[in-house]
Amino acid sequence: MRRSIVPRLILALTAACIVIPAALLAVWSFTARWPWPNLLPERYTPRTVSELLFGSAKLSRLLGSSIALAAAVAVLGTAIAVLTARAEALYRFRGKELIRLGSWLPLLIPGTVFAIGFHMVLLRLGLADTVAGVLLVHLVAALPYCITIMADVTRAVGFGLEEQAAVLGTGPFRAFFYAALPSLLPGVLSSMSMAFTLSYSQYFTTLIVGGGRVKTLALVLVPYIQGGDRALASVYAAAFTGSALAVFGIFEWIIYKVQRGGT
Amino acid sequence: MKRLLTTLLALAMALSLAACGGGNGGGPAGNSLDLSSAAWEDIVEEARGTTVTFYGWGGDENRNNWLNGDVAEYVKERYDITLDVVGMNIEDILAKLSSEKEAAAQGSIDMIWINGENFYSAKENGLLYGPFTHQLPNMDKYIDPEDPETLADFSMPIEGYEAPYAKAQMVLYLDTAVTPNAPASAGELMTFCQENPGKVTYPALPDFTGSAFIRNIVYELCGWEQFQDMEADYDTVKAAVQPAIDYLVELNPYLWNQGSTFPESSNTVDTMFADGELVMSMSYGPFSVSTGIDQGLYTETTQTFVFDKGTIGNTNYMGIAFNSPNKAGAMVVIDAILSAELQLSQYATLRELPVVDFDRLSAGEQEAFGQVDLGQGVLTQEDLLRHRLPEMPAKLVPVIEEIWLNEVVGK
């Protein structure tokens, strides 16, 4: 009996850590004034929600551009990661360590330095202030995570299934897509979710490289957090989290469909 | 490992060299029009149908809505200009302009919301286009050319490199239901803090508002005239502000957290005041209390006040980036914001002090300005302007901030 209490306690604690802040966020979204030591807000307001929905920031456009950008980063980043991880986990070649180190570099360099350096390079290439430039910088920021996730999964799956398919006479592409990829799908899902979250929550890199021309939800949200408008920041944060969760749901659903169709 | 590192370094260098070589030439595409000598009608014609970007702080939802609403509609209707408002902190804007200058790259910023030490450094480093204000018809029509704030921004000569946008003035406020008597001087503030220990503080410098509050204390205790032509030398300034340092150190024990730390921004101080953790707060927006009351953030009994000896006021401005791709469009939008119509709408919607000279307005316009309802808990415009003191020279501001950091915090 004693043994089952500890995991339950931990579970309850973890749940509380997620649910309580989320509930607070919901309350703050409607709060005008909440002075200490009141248990509940003194005054509520619809100002923030109407600002979110009907304000000049145009929520639908922001959501569209942020989700499209992050989804592109998720798909491209994961495609690159699947290939890189395959090379890294299953092949031996000269310079392999270099590639491994290279894939980690964006994590090792401080974010501000990374963004400003990247901006200088893109300025010279004529890609600063463009969607392509922002896509590139998000991609580079997300790749270390995607590659690490995929490398572990790829190593676990190995060559076995593909070799078996080859023995039965399948070509290398079909063998990869039909034999290996389905087993890699859980990794693909994690990698896509990770890349999506990373791109979705980028503020500084988007601001510097996109020069304010590429508009995302984070770009509108962060000034309100910095500006100390807690109610407005809360309502934007709720929209931010909610939309990200919805996209994850869609990812899961697609993978589920694909897996069911595949087997 | 060593070989790996050398290869890596070589690779990095090769990459950055390649990047240098790939530059696509300097400067914005040549305008067909020579702007500096062009007639206003030609500038307006050049601007017609273009997009203008306006970069500035994006943390005020009311201002964002005003720019995207009233101002955008005004320039769309009259000049077919599309206004694109981009929220970005001034430090990031200047950093972006510096990198673009270094790379000799085409810019994307047209208009900038700027003033004070940022204007000083931007103008010094050639990040602004100008002079241009002498070409704006509304500058001539509505702005008092002799006003010290038209001539200089924190004592930095403007010389046509920026046009006024709105006037700000330092104000203090408290909740009269909690503390009925507002202090009217630095001396009374000391007593006020002693009566409300741990419930007063100010934003840590270099916060905009915190810095202005300290300059205000300096003005009151050391006089303001001597600073107008002082050298920006640490020891000279320190000797001059010594009475203020002594006062602030004496004040520390009665402040929030015994003055060992200060909240990092004026927003935090405002939030703490709204939560009842502090009994007094301060703002650079003279009418911000009425907006706060309207939003339900402050109680109806919140009241603005200033010290008898006055508070610092300054103007914020609009400039044009040196590499702006649409300078003509930027000039037209700036001119539009200087119009009596938009200044009135800014005064009425945002409750910002207008920059237009009252005597230059028509009788009808004067009446319209007079009828604006400024809401509750604020001082009148006349009352504010009567208590208005000039800003300190921009180059002294960082010196005072450094002195405060060394001599006041935690002492």
Q: Residue B173 belongs to a domain with what CATH number?
A: 3.40.190.10
User: Are the beta carbons of A105 and B15 closer than 8 angstroms?
Assistant: no
Testing the interface with A: which of B20, B297, B350 to mutate, by most A Cβ within 10 A? B297
Q: Which residues span the domain enclosing B182?
A: 169-314+388-407
**One domain, residues A99 and A129:** yes
**One domain, residues B145 and B44:** yes
pLDDT digits (tens, 9 = 90+) for A67-93: 999 999 999 999 999 999 999 888 888
**One domain, residues B49 and B144:** yes
**One domain, residues A28 and A59:** no
**B109 in a domain, yes or no?**
yes
pLDDT at B7: 52
User: Are the beta carbons of B309 and B229 closer than 8 angstroms?
Assistant: no
**One domain, residues B184 and B290:** yes
pLDDT at B110: 95
Q: Which residues contact B41 (CB under 8 A, 6 or more apart)?
A: none
**One domain, residues A26 and A126:** no
**One domain, residues B331 and B224:** no
> Average pLDDT over chain A, rounded to whole?
89
Whether chain B has a CB inside 8 Å of the CB on A217: the answer is: no
- One-letter amino acid at B326 equals N
* Paired sense of beta strands B156-157 and B162-169, if any: unpaired
Task: Give the helix/strand (H/E) hosting B240.
Answer: helix B234-251
Q: What is the mean pLDDT of residues A200-212?
A: 90
* Yes or no, beta carbons of B8 and A51 under 8 Å apart: no
Of B402, B407, B409, B406, the closest CA to residue B255 belongs to: B409
* Yes or no, beta carbons of A124 and B68 under 8 Å apart: no
Q: How many domains, in total, are found in chain A?
A: 2
CA-to-CA separations, B310 to B166, B306, B327, in angstroms, rounded: 19, 6, 39
**One domain, residues A92 and A177:** yes
**One domain, residues B187 and B97:** no
Testing the interface with A: which of B17, B67, B73, B96 to mutate, by most A Cβ within 10 A? B96
**One domain, residues A201 and A150:** yes
**One domain, residues A29 and A96:** no
**One domain, residues B187 and B291:** yes
**One domain, residues A37 and A55:** no
**One domain, residues A62 and A170:** yes
* Predicted confidence pLDDT, tens digits, chain B (411 residues): 455 545 554 555 444 444 443 333 333 444 567 888 899 999 999 999 999 999 998 888 889 999 999 999 999 999 999 999 998 889 889 988 998 898 888 788 999 999 988 999 999 999 999 899 999 999 999 999 999 999 999 889 999 999 999 999 999 999 999 999 999 999 999 999 999 999 999 999 988 899 999 999 999 999 988 998 899 999 999 999 999 999 999 999 999 999 999 999 898 999 999 999 999 999 998 999 999 999 889 999 999 999 999 999 999 999 999 999 999 999 999 999 999 999 999 999 998 889 999 899 999 999 999 999 888 999 988 899 999 998 889 889 999 999 999 999 988
**One domain, residues A63 and A127:** yes
Q: Among A39-43, A155-159, B1-5, B183-187, where is mean pLDDT lowest?
A: B1-5
Q: Angle B374-B379-B382 (CA atoms, 0-180°, nearest 5)? A: 95
Task: Give the C-alpha separation, B193 to A89, whole Å.
Answer: 66
ipTM of the complex: 0.80
* Yes or no, beta carbons of A36 and B55 under 8 Å apart: no
* Assigned token pair, A43: 């005054």
* Yes or no, beta carbons of B99 and A43 under 8 Å apart: no
Closest Cα of chain B to A21: distance in Å?
Answer: 19
**One domain, residues A135 and A218:** yes
**One domain, residues B202 and B344:** no
Q: Residue A165 belongs to a domain with what CATH number?
A: 1.10.3720.10
**One domain, residues B234 and B321:** no
Q: What is the mean pLDDT of residues A102-129?
A: 88
**One domain, residues B123 and B104:** yes
Q: How many domains, in total, are found in chain B?
A: 2
**One domain, residues A54 and A29:** no
**One domain, residues B155 and B220:** no
Closest Cα of chain A to B58: distance in Å?
Answer: 6
Whether chain B has a CB inside 8 Å of the CB on A56: the answer is: yes
**B262 in a domain, yes or no?**
yes
Radius of gyration of chain A (CA): 22
**One domain, residues B310 and B332:** no
Q: Would the pLDDT of A1 be above 80?
A: no
A62-81 residues touching B, CB cutoff 8 A: none
**One domain, residues A31 and A65:** no
Residue A199: half-sphere exposure toward Cβ, Cα within 13 Å: 37
Task: Give the C-alpha separation, B178 to B277, whole Å.
Answer: 12
**One domain, residues B261 and B246:** yes
**B156 in a domain, yes or no?**
yes
Q: Which residues span the domain enclosing A41?
A: 1-45
- What is the DSSP track for B43-91? HHHHHTT-EEEEEE----HHHHHHIIIIIHHHHHHHH-PEEEEEE--HH
A-chain CB neighbours of B67 within 8 Å are 56
**B401 in a domain, yes or no?**
yes
